[in-house]
């Protein structure tokens, strides 16, 4: 995750509908930001995002890109990858079923209960049964946080 930056300013667009002409309308940009995009191999989608033009994050990809790439390494039928940034209080979740990317979103998250809420909400939205769904976590959880999630989900696997 060192070569990625944390942002909630991104969207997925089906490749067949993608047009750079409409990118500026997607986000409210800060003065030091520009819109960039990258194709997502195997998902027939393009990730459009706001990127800094200077500073430590310039030239990096958003963390959601790394999470989507991690989906390819998971052999499960239903796959969820999660990243929580405590300093920015942002939760990123991506979900896929087989070869279909179903969801990539960011949520404001200030507590483990909020994380659990959004994970179960995502499972409901994409119709995954939490009791047979494993969570793939980019980063680490505290022992008590992990214990709480394991009451609802089959397993937690940590990814780098």
What are the pLDDT digits (tens) for 103-128?
999 999 999 999 999 999 999 999 99
Mean pLDDT rounded to a whole number for the chain:
91
Q: Which residues pair with 157 in a beta bridge?
A: 136
pLDDT, average across residues 13-28? 80
pLDDT the model gives residue 23: 74
- Any idea what the Cα angle at residue 154 is, between residues 11 and 6, rounded to 5°? 30
Contact 120, 107 (CB under 8 A): no
pLDDT the model gives residue 75: 92
pLDDT, average across residues 3-12? 91
- For each of the domains in the chain, give its residue range(s) and CATH number, in order of start: 4-62 (no CATH), 63-159 (3.30.420.260)
Say how far apart CA 160 and CA 12 lie, in whole Å.
23
> What confidence category does residue 58 fall into, taking pLDDT thresholds of 50, 70 and 90?
confident
> What confidence category does residue 59 fall into, taking pLDDT thresholds of 50, 70 and 90?
confident
User: What is this structure's pTM?
Assistant: 0.91
If we measure between CA atoms, which residue out of 105, 107, 114, 115 comes closest to residue 135? 115
Buried b (16+ CB within 10 A) or exposed e, 100-112: ebbebbbbebeeb
pLDDT the model gives residue 41: 84
What are the pLDDT digits (tens) for 89-105?
999 999 999 989 999 99
Helices (H), the chain: 63-71, 112-126, 143-150
Residue 63 φ then ψ, to 5°: -60, -30
- Per DSSP, 24 falls in state G
């Amino acid at each position: 995750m060192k070569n990625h930056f944390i942002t909630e300013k991104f969207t997925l667009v089906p490749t067949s509908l993608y047009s750079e002409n409409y990118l500026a309308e997607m986000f409210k940009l800060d003065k030091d930001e520009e819109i960039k995009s990258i194709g997502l191999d195997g998902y027939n989608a393009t990730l459009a995002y706001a990127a800094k033009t200077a500073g430590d994050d310039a030239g990096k990809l958003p963390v959601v890109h790394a999470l989507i790439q991690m989906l390819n390494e998971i052999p499960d039928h239903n796959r969820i990858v999660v990243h929580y940034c405590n300093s920015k209080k942002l939760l990123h979740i991506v979900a896929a079923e087989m070869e279909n990317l179903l969801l990539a979103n960011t949520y404001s998250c200030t507590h483990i209960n909020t994380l659990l809420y959004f994970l179960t909400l995502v499972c409901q939205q994409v119709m995954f049964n939490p009791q047979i769904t494993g969570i793939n976590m980019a980063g680490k959880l505290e022992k008590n946080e992990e214990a709480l999630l394991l009451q609802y989900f089959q397993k937690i696997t940590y990814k780098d």
